[in-house]
Each structure stands twice: as structure tokens, then as C-alpha cells.
């Protein structure tokens, strides 16, 4: 049998920061609610969850980097909702958010989950923020819990 190392889904005693963009807040707030719900249902204490809001998804990596430096947390969950408009703006913001969040996770000491949804239509945003396609905030929180425990086991 191969030796398998994988993180379990117990968030007890772990501290989390959720960094969430306010843009498209109807949907972004749903992602925040989903992430908090996931963390608490997996054992995290309300007091161990800090929510930090920023203007838009472009700012997520900037704020998350400061959160990593200033708050004693075990993982950061970045949440944002990008909805494509008539110009290429969407692509620049999406690329910056993905690149910055990815770099922070790779270069920093703690896991950083990517809960940014990139939608071509409002309908896709509705589907991904708590209806047909689930809640991507919940999924990002689960990834963060698993990664915290995986990093712990890899030490």
C-alpha cells in the first residue's frame, strides 16, 4: 500500500481570515456566508474567523498579503465575484487576482484558497453563489481546512 498524506476536514482550533471583495456584493456576500458556514460546520470557532472586506477582486492579493503579515491565522480564503462586461477589464482583474493569490500561497507560509468566481453572465454568478452549482465560498473554505491540516501533517 502506498503511503498517502492528505489533509482531513477538521477545522477545530484553527484560525482563518476571509478576504472578500465587495464588488458584486449580492453574490460576494453569499460566498462569505457560505465560507463562514463551512468553517463553523467543520469545527471552527466563530471567534477564530476574521472577515476583511476590500473594494474589488483586483485588491484581493494586496490585502491578503497584508493579512498574512499582520493577523495570526492558519489560512486565508480569498473570495470575489467577477462578471464579464463589455470591455476587457474583466480579464485584467481576473489575471491579477489569480496570479497574486497564487503567488502568495506559493511564496508564503500559510495556504491561500482561491474562491474567486469568474462568470460570463449574471446567471452563472447566481448558480455559483448558492444555487445550481453550489456555493464556491463553501468549497474554498473546505480547501483551506484541508490545506491547513495537510501542511500540519507535512511538517
Binding residues (CB under 6 A) for ligand DLZ: these are 21, 23-24, 55-59, 80-83, 85, 89, 93
Choice between 42 and 84, CB closer to ligand DLZ: 84
Nearest Cα residue to 27 out of 130, 140, 142: 130
To ligand DLZ, the closest distance from the beta carbon of 3 in angstroms equals: 41
CB of 82: closest distance to ligand DLZ in angstroms? Answer: 4
Contact, 79 vs 54, CB < 8 A? Answer: no
Cα-based distances in Å from 154 to 16, 89, 109, 146, 150: 19, 39, 13, 12, 6
| Least distance (Å) between residue 62 CB and ligand DLZ | 9
**Calpha distance 92→46 (Å, rounded):** 35
Rounded Cα gap, residues 96 and 118, in angstroms: 13
Q: Provide, rounded to whole angstroms, the least separation between the CB of residue 93 and ligand DLZ.
A: 5
What residue number has its CB nearest to ligand DLZ? 56
- Catalytic residue flag (residue 155): no
Q: Which of 8, 42, 89, 152 is catalytic?
A: 89
Query: Which CB atom, from 40 or from 126, has the smaller least distance to ligand DLZ?
Result: 126
Phi, psi of 121 (to 5 degrees): -140, 160
Nearest residue (CB) to ligand DLZ, 9 versus 103: 103
- What's the CA gap between 108 and 148, in Å, rounded? 13
- Please identify, using beta-carbon distances, which residue of 21 and 76 lies nearer to ligand DLZ: 21
Catalytic residues: 89
Amino acid at each position: 500500500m502506498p503511503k498517502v498524506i492528505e489533509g482531513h476536514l477538521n477545522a477545530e482550533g484553527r484560525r482563518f481570515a476571509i478576504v472578500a471583495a465587495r464588488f458584486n456584493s449580492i453574490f460576494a456576500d453569499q460566498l462569505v456566508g457560505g465560507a463562514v458556514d463551512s468553517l463553523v460546520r467543520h469545527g471552527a470557532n466563530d471567534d477564530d474567523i476574521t472577515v476583511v472586506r476590500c473594494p474589488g477582486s483586483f485588491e484581493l492579493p494586496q490585502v491578503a498579503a497584508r493579512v498574512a503579515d499582520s493577523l495570526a491565522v492558519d489560512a486565508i480564503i480569498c473570495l470575489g465575484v467577477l462578471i464579464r462586461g463589455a470591455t476587457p477589464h474583466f480579464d485584467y482583474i481576473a489575471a491579477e487576482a489569480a496570479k497574486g493569490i497564487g503567488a502568495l500561497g506559493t511564496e508564503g507560509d500559510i495556504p491561500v484558497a482561491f474562491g474567486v468566481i469568474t462568470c460570463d453572465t449574471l446567471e452563472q454568478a447566481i448558480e455559483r453563489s448558492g444555487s445550481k452549482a453550489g456555493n464556491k465560498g463553501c468549497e474554498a473554505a473546505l480547501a483551506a481546512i484541508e490545506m491547513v491540516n495537510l501542511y500540519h501533517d507535512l511538517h
